[in-house]
Amino acid sequence: MAKSSFTSKAIASAFMILTGSVIAGIVTMVILYNTQISSMNPTPRPTFSTTTTGPPPVMRLPKNLIPETYTVFLKPHFYTRIIEEVNVTSPNQTMLFTGNSTVNFHCAQTTRTIYLNSKDLAVSKPKVIDTENNNNIEVSAMKHHEDESDFLEIQLKEALEAGGNYSLSLDFKGEISENLDALFVSTYQEGEPEFEGDTNTERFLVATNMEPTDARRVFPCFDEPEMKAVFYVTIIHRRFTKALGNEQQSASNIIDEDWQYTSFHPTPKMSTYLVAFTVSEFKPTPSTHERVTIETFARPEAAAAGHTHYAASITGKILQFYENYFEINYQQKTLDQIALPDLSPAAMENWGLITYQEGGLLYEEGVSSLLHKEVIATLISHELAHQWFGNLVTMKWWNEVWLNEGFASYMSYFAVDHIDPSFKARDTFVMRDLHTAFEEDSLASSHPLSPPQEDVQETYQIIEMFDAITYSKGAIVLRMLEDVVGEKVFQKGIKMYLSDFKYANTDQNDLWDYIQMAVDEDSGHTKVALIMKPWTTQIGYPVITINTTDGGIYQKHFLFNDSSESNLWWHVPITAMSDTSGLFSFTLEDKPEKKDTLISKSGEWILANVNCTGYYRVNYNPENWERLLTQLEKDPHRIPLMNRGQLIDDAFNLARAKLVDVSLALNSTRFLHNETAYIPWESAVRNLEYIVLMFDRSEVYGPMQAYLQEQVKGLYSFFRNYTYYSKVPEDHSLQRSQLLAIHVACSNGLPECIEMASKMFANWMNSNTTNGIHPNLRSVIYCQAVAAGGGKEWEFAWNKFQSSSDTSEKEQLRKALSCTKKIWLLNRYLEYTLDPEKIRLMDVASTINYIAKNVAGQALAWNFVRAHWDYVRQGAGAMLIEGVTSRFSTQFELKELEHFATDYELDSANRAVYQAIEQTKVNIEWVGEHKDVILEWFEGQTAL
Ligand SMILES: *[C@@H]1O[C@H](CO)[C@@H](O)[C@H](O)[C@H]1NC(C)=O
Ligand SMILES: *[C@@H]1O[C@H](CO)[C@@H](O)[C@H](O)[C@H]1NC(C)=O
Ligand SMILES: *[C@@H]1O[C@H](CO)[C@@H](O)[C@H](O)[C@H]1NC(C)=O
Ligand SMILES: *[C@@H]1O[C@H](CO)[C@@H](O)[C@H](O)[C@H]1NC(C)=O
Ligand SMILES: *[C@@H]1O[C@H](CO)[C@@H](O)[C@H](O)[C@H]1NC(C)=O
Ligand SMILES: [Zn+2]
C-alpha cells in the first residue's frame, strides 16, 4: 500500500497533499489505516482478556495444508442508491453480505484438523471432499478461536492423508464494514436526481481493503502471504451497478429483476491480501498501452469532468516503463484503478484493481496545484511497482514487508523521473525519504527493517510494520546498495530475482543472493549480504566523524539521546571529494582509521557522502566545517545540490544529538539569503521547525522571526513578480521554492507577504465565485489569509470547504482552517471532527494534528485528544500522539504524557506513546541546554 504512518485501528489519511505540506517538504503521504469506529454506529472494540490462563495462542497456521485454488461467490446486498418515489416504499439500506467459498488444497501432512482464518463471519455448512474420489469426509466439529489468531478449526471424522487433494466448502455471511476495512461501504453525493420526486442524491459503493489481515473478514481463507493460490471470483450485485475484480471479467448476466452476476477470469497465483473487488456506479476513462486494457474509474461526475485524465494519461507509460525495466510483462490483460471517496491508506496495490483515495488519482485542471501531479504520479508509480514487487514476488512474512514497500518506494523515483524529468524526482524524493528515515531511526525505540518473525505475530504488530522505516529506510538502503554495486548490476540482479521467484515468496537473503549473482557475473568483489545485513537487521544508522587535520575517521551509532550506549557498527560505503581532488571511495569498518586522502591540503575542505548515497550522517573537525560553510557563502554551487541540503540537515541533527554546537547548525543557514534552490531551503525550514516548535512559546521567537524574515527576503523577491500576478514558474522545483518563499515570509511576519495574501483572499471573498488565486498558491495563501484574518475569513473558508466537491480544494481548505489564531475558532473546528458529516472519518486525525501544529491550538488539541480518546484512538491513535506531542518540552508535559500512558488504554498507539515520552525527555534536556545560546545567536544576527 502507499506510504503510511499506521496505527492499528483507525485512521484516516492525512495524506498531506503536496501543496498543503510546504513545511513538511513534499508528498508526505501519511496514510492512515483501518478504522474501527463507525460513523453511524460506534461499536466498542473487542477487547481481549488479559487474564485468561493457559498458553498464548499460536498465531501462525500449520503448514500441513497448502491451498491451491479458491472459488468464491460474494453477494453484497446493499443498494448504490435509495430511490424515493411518491407512493412507493423505498427499501432500507442493508449492510449484509453473503457468500460461499470452496478452497482446493493439497495435504502435505496427515491431519484430522483443518485450520484456516476467519473473522467476524458467520460460517456454516462445512463440507470436505476428497477430490480424487469425490468422497465426502464427515465434519465432526467446527469451532472459532476467540483470540487474536482468528482460527477457524474444523475437525474431521477421518484423517486427510499426506499427498491427497481435498476441498473445503463453506457458506458464510457478514456485515459490510463502515470503517474502511475488509469489505467496506463508502458514500458520496451525486448531482441531479434522476427520477422525478427523487430527492436523495446520496450514493453508496462497496470496496475491499484486505492488507494485511482482513481477507479473513470477507471469506474464510488461509490468510498468510506465503499461502498463495488462484482465485475464481464471482460477485452477485444489484442490477445497473458495475463490479470490478482482480481480473478481466469472464461473464456477466442478469439473474432476476434485482440481481446480476459478474465472474472474473482466474487470478494469477497470489496472496490473499491482494484479493479485491468493488461494486459501484463509477465510470471508466481508458489509457493506452500496447497490450493491457487500462481503465481508471471515478464518480460519474468526476469522470465526466475529466478529473481522471491526468492519471489515465500517465498510467500506461508507467506500466510500460516497468515492463521495460524488469523485462517481465505485467501478468494480466486488464488493469483497473479506482478513485474511492473513502479509503485508508492512500492507495492499495491489489493485483489488477488498484484502489486510491480520490486525492491520489484525481486532478482538476485549473483547480489542482501543478505540484499535485507529483503526488499522483508518485502514487501510481508506487502501486504499479507493487505489481512486481509484492504481487508477483511477495515477502514470506510481514516482518520483511520492506521488500514490498521499500522497493515500491524506490522504483517510483525512476518511474516518476521517466514520465516527467521536470519533477526532479530522483533528488527531491530521495531527500524526502532519507530525512524521514533519519528522523525515525535516530531513536533507540526504532526497529530494524527486518525484525525476527517472532516479533511480528499479531495483527497490530503487523500493522505497526507499515511505518517510515519500512517505506523510507527501505528505499534508501536499496539506493545505497545500487550505488555500491552499480546501476547495471543492480538492475540485472533484480531482474533475475523477479524472474526466478515469480508467484513465490522470498526473504531478504534471496535478494542478497541474486544481487550477488549479478555482482559475480560482472566480476565484482562486493560481498552483498555481508555489507547489507547490518543495515537491515540492526536499528539505526551511523554518524561518520572525519578529522581533516590527521585524516582520522571513525563511526558510531547516531542517536538523538546520545547517552544510550550502543556498540553497533556497519560496513559504511563512503564517497568523498575535496576542494581540489576528484572523488575517492572506500568502505569504513568498525575500527577507526587514518587515511591520507582525508587530510586537507593547505586549508581546503573535504566533503563526504557525495550526493547523499549513503545512509549515514557526517561530522567533521570544526576547521573543516568552517571551510565548508565559508564555501557555501562564497559560491554554493561548488557543493553538490543534495549535499547543500544535507550539510544543513547534518549540522542541525548533530546539534540535536549534542555532537556539535547549535551555533554551527544555525550558521549553516546563513548562506540561504543567496540560495533559490528548493532542497537546501526545504532542509533549513524543516530543521528550523524543531527550533520553532521548541521555542515558539518563548522569547526566542521574536529574534528568530526577525532573522528568518531577513534570510527569506531574497527568495521572496526572486518570485515577487510571479506571486503578485498569481503566476508560477515553469520548473517544478522552482514552484516548490516559490511556495516555501511565501510560507516562510508570511509565517515570519514579512508585512508585504501578509498583505499580499490577505488581499488575494479578500478578492476571492468579494467576488465570491471566481477564485483568481493560482492553484499552486492556494494552500499557502488560504492558510496565511485565515491566520491573518478573523471569523469572517474562517467562515468563508468553512463554507467553501463544505460546498466544494473538488478534493484538492477541500484538502487545502481543511488545512487552512487550522491556521487561524483565534482560540474559539480552533475549538469549534476540533468539535467538528467528532461529526462525520462535517469532517470525514479518514480526515479526523490529520485535522487534529494540523490544529496541534498551530501554536494557538497545541494545548486545545492535546486536551481534546484526551477527552475523546476512546473515539479518536480508533481513528488514528499513534499518528495523533505523534502530532499533538511534537511540541512537548516541559516537565509538566512529560508528567501529563506519563499519566496518559498509565491511565488510558493505548492499544496500537503504545509504541507511539513511548516514543513520545522518549522524545519529550530529549526535548526537555535540549531546550534546557540550548535556549540561551540560541536566543543569543538570533539576537546577534539581527543586531548586525
Ligand atoms: C399517492 O397516493 C395518494 C393516496 O393514496 C393518491 O391520492 C395520489 O394520487 C398518489 N400519487 C401518485 C403520484 O400516484
Ligand atoms: C425498513 O425498516 C423499518 C424499521 O425497521 C421497517 O418498519 C420497514 O418495514 C422497512 N422497510 C422495508 C421496505 O423493508
Ligand atoms: C455458491 O453460491 C452460488 C450462487 O448462489 C451457487 O451457484 C453455488 O452453487 C454455491 N456453491 C456452493 C459450493 O455452495
Ligand atoms: C551527483 O548528482 C548530480 C545531479 O543529480 C549528478 O550530476 C552528479 O554526477 C552526481 N555525482 C556523483 C558523484 O554521482
Ligand atoms: C584532529 O586531529 C588533530 C591531530 O591529531 C588533533 O590535534 C585534533 O584535536 C583533532 N580534532 C578533533 C576535533 O578531534
Ligand atoms: Zn506500497
| C-alpha 26, offset from chain centre | 12
Task: Tell whether 382 is in a known binding site.
Answer: yes
Sheet holding 202-209, edge to edge: 182-189, 202-209, 277-280, 242-245
Q: Calculate the alpha carbon distances from 239 to 80, 92, 100, 262, 280 in Å.
A: 10, 17, 20, 11, 11
When the candidates are 1.10.569.10, 1.10.390.10, 1.10.10.10, 1.10.3720.10, the CATH number that belongs to 395-537 is 1.10.390.10
Q: Looking at residue 47, what is its pLDDT? A: 35
Question: What is the grid cell recorded at 225?
Answer: 502471504
Q: Looking at residue 19, what is its pLDDT? A: 29
Task: Tell whether 386 is in a known binding site.
Answer: yes
Where is pLDDT greater, at 27 or 861? 861
* Residue 383 is among the residues annotated as catalytic for this protein: yes
pLDDT of 299 strictly over 90:
yes
Q: Looking at residue 768, what is its pLDDT? A: 67
pLDDT of 97 strictly over 70:
yes
Residue 585 has φ and ψ, to the nearest 5°, of -125, 150
Q: Looking at residue 840, what is its pLDDT? A: 84
Burial of 848 (0-12, 13-18, 19+ CB in 10 A): buried
How far is ligand 4, taken at its centre, from the CA of residue 527, in Å? 25
Q: Looking at residue 56, what is its pLDDT? A: 59
Q: What mean pLDDT is predicted for residues 402-418?
A: 97
| Contact residues of ligand 1, CB 6 A cut-off | 86-87
Residue 321 has φ and ψ, to the nearest 5°, of -55, -45
How far is ligand 5, taken at its centre, from the CA of residue 148, in Å? 57
User: 55 pLDDT band (50/70/90 cuts)?
Assistant: low
pLDDT tens-digit profile of 271-283?
Answer: 999 999 999 999 9
Q: Is the CB of 89 under 6 A from ligand 2?
A: yes
Residues contacting residue 813 through CB under 8 Å, at least 6 positions apart? 782, 797, 798, 800, 801, 804
| Contact residues of ligand 5, CB 6 A cut-off | 547, 549-550, 552, 621
Distance CA 482, CA 499 (A): 19
Q: Is the CB of 91 under 6 A from ligand 2?
A: yes
Distance CA 703, CA 24 (A): 23
How far is ligand 6, taken at its centre, from the CA of residue 572, in Å? 28
Say yes or no: do domains 395-537 and 820-944 share a fold. Answer: no
List the CATH code of the domain at 820-944. 1.25.50.20
Distance CA 680, CA 448 (A): 29
| DSSP state letters, 799-828 | HHHHH---HHHHHHHHHHGGG---HHHHHH
How far is ligand 3, taken at its centre, from the CA of residue 216, in Å? 19
885 contacts 897 by C-beta, under 8 angstroms: yes
- The closest residue, in CA terms, to atom 13 on ligand 4 is 610
pLDDT tens-digit profile of 477-489?
Answer: 999 999 999 999 9
Ligand nearest 104 Cα, by number?
3
Distance CA 163, CA 167 (A): 14
pLDDT of 146 strictly over 90:
no
User: 247, 323, 374, 383: which one is catalytic?
Assistant: 383
Distance CA 685, CA 228 (A): 46
Residue 137 has φ and ψ, to the nearest 5°, of -110, 120
Q: Where are the domains of the chain?
A: 3-281, 395-537, 541-639, 820-944
Which of 84, 85, 87, 92 for mutating ligand 2's site (highest number of atoms within 8 Å of CB)? 92
Question: CB count, 10 Å around CB of 130?
Answer: 17
User: 23 pLDDT band (50/70/90 cuts)?
Assistant: very low
Question: Closest ligand 1 atom to the C-alpha of 86?
Answer: 13
- The closest residue, in CA terms, to atom 7 on ligand 1 is 87
Distance CA 913, CA 936 (A): 34
Place of cell 499522483: 376
Residue type, 293: T
How far is ligand 4, taken at its centre, from the CA of residue 611, in Å? 6
pLDDT of 183 strictly over 60:
yes
How far is ligand 6, taken at its centre, from the CA of residue 406, in Å? 8
Residues contacting residue 824 through CB under 8 Å, at least 6 positions apart? none
712 contacts 719 by C-beta, under 8 angstroms: no
- The closest residue, in CA terms, to atom 12 on ligand 4 is 611
Q: Calculate the alpha carbon distances from 139 to 108, 126, 151, 154, 162 in Å.
A: 20, 7, 16, 7, 18
User: 877 pLDDT band (50/70/90 cuts)?
Assistant: confident
Q: Looking at residue 907, what is its pLDDT? A: 80
Q: Looking at residue 805, what is its pLDDT? A: 75
pLDDT tens-digit profile of 571-583?
Answer: 999 999 998 888 9
Residue 590 DSSP one-character state = S
Q: Is the CB of 486 under 6 A from ligand 4?
A: no
Q: Is the CB of 169 under 6 A from ligand 3?
A: yes
Residue 212: asked if its preceding bond is cis (omega within 30°), the reply is: yes
Q: Is the CB of 141 under 6 A from ligand 4?
A: no
Q: Looking at residue 45, what is its pLDDT? A: 31
97 contacts 74 by C-beta, under 8 angstroms: yes
Residue type, 750: L
How far is ligand 4, taken at its centre, from the CA of residue 670, in Å? 24
Residues contacting residue 19 through CB under 8 Å, at least 6 positions apart? 369, 371, 372, 739, 775, 776, 778, 779, 780, 808, 811, 812
- The closest residue, in CA terms, to atom 10 on ligand 3 is 100
Q: Looking at residue 7, what is its pLDDT? A: 26
User: 943 pLDDT band (50/70/90 cuts)?
Assistant: low
| C-alpha 515, offset from chain centre | 27
Question: What is the grid cell recorded at 629?
Answer: 560553510
| DSSP state letters, 890-907 | SHHHHHHHHHHHHHS--G
Q: Is the CB of 73 under 6 A from ligand 3?
A: yes
- The closest residue, in CA terms, to atom 7 on ligand 5 is 549
Q: What SS3 state is found at 594?
A: strand
28-37, 172-181, 548-557, 871-880: segment of lowest average pLDDT:
28-37
Which is it for strands 353-357 and 334-340: parallel, antiparallel or unpaired?
parallel
User: 646 pLDDT band (50/70/90 cuts)?
Assistant: very high
- The closest residue, in CA terms, to atom 12 on ligand 2 is 91
Q: Looking at residue 565, what is its pLDDT? A: 79
Task: Tell whether 77 is in a known binding site.
Answer: no
Which is it for strands 293-298 and 334-340: parallel, antiparallel or unpaired?
parallel
In sequence order, which ranges of 342-473 are alpha helices (DSSP H)?
Answer: 372-386, 402-419, 425-440, 459-464, 468
Distance CA 468, CA 447 (A): 10
Q: Looking at residue 140, what is its pLDDT? A: 96
How far is ligand 3, taken at its centre, from the CA of residue 71, in Å? 9
User: 196 pLDDT band (50/70/90 cuts)?
Assistant: low
- The closest residue, in CA terms, to atom 5 on ligand 1 is 87
pLDDT of 33 strictly over 60:
no
- The closest residue, in CA terms, to atom 5 on ligand 5 is 550
pLDDT of 633 strictly over 80:
yes
49-58, 232-241, 311-320, 903-912: segment of lowest average pLDDT:
49-58
Q: What mean pLDDT is predicted for residues 65-88?
A: 90
Q: Looking at residue 18, what is its pLDDT? A: 28
Question: Closest ligand 4 atom to the C-alpha of 577?
Answer: 13
How far is ligand 4, taken at its centre, from the CA of residue 641, in Å? 9
- The closest residue, in CA terms, to atom 10 on ligand 2 is 92
Distance CA 215, CA 219 (A): 6
Q: Looking at residue 199, what is its pLDDT? A: 67
Question: Closest ligand 5 atom to the C-alpha of 547?
Answer: 1
Question: What is the grid cell recorded at 778?
Answer: 492556494
Question: Closest ligand 1 atom to the C-alpha of 197?
Answer: 13
| C-alpha 40, offset from chain centre | 27
pLDDT of 1 strictly over 80:
no
Ligand nearest 87 Cα, by number?
1
Question: What is the grid cell recorded at 799?
Answer: 463554507
Where is pLDDT greater, at 190 or 351? 351
Residue 602 DSSP one-character state = T
Could you tell me which residues are beta bridge partners of residue 299? Answer: none
Q: Is the CB of 482 under 6 A from ligand 4?
A: no
Q: Looking at residue 3, what is its pLDDT? A: 54
Which of 85, 86, 87 for mutating ligand 1's site (highest number of atoms within 8 Å of CB)? 87
What percent of the chain lies above the pLDDT cut of 70?
Answer: 92
Which of 611, 637, 641, 642 for mutating ligand 4's site (highest number of atoms within 8 Å of CB)? 611
Q: H or E stretch including 537?
A: helix 528-537
Q: What mean pLDDT is predicted for residues 356-368?
A: 91
Which of 547, 548, 619 for mutating ligand 5's site (highest number of atoms within 8 Å of CB)? 547
pLDDT of 520 strictly over 50:
yes
pTM for this predicted structure: 0.88
What's the mean pLDDT when you consider all of the chain? 90
How far is ligand 4, taken at its centre, from the CA of residue 624, in Å? 22
Distance CA 629, CA 649 (A): 13
Residue type, 720: R
Q: What mean pLDDT is predicted for residues 216-236?
A: 98
Question: CB count, 10 Å around CB of 596?
Answer: 7
Question: Closest ligand 1 atom to the C-alpha of 87?
Answer: 1
- The closest residue, in CA terms, to atom 1 on ligand 1 is 87
pLDDT of 110 strictly over 50:
yes
Q: Looking at residue 677, what is its pLDDT? A: 93
When the candidates are 3.40.190.10, 3.30.2020.30, 2.60.40.10, 2.60.40.1730, the CATH number that belongs to 3-281 is 2.60.40.1730
CA atoms within 13 A on the CB side of 447: 23
Question: Closest ligand 2 atom to the C-alpha of 90?
Answer: 13
Q: Looking at residue 560, what is its pLDDT? A: 85
In 3D, which of 238, 191, 184 has the Cα closest to residue 209? 184
List the CATH code of the domain at 541-639. 2.60.40.1910
Q: Is the CB of 487 under 6 A from ligand 4?
A: no
Q: Looking at residue 91, what is its pLDDT? A: 84
User: 687 pLDDT band (50/70/90 cuts)?
Assistant: very high
Distance CA 375, CA 459 (A): 29
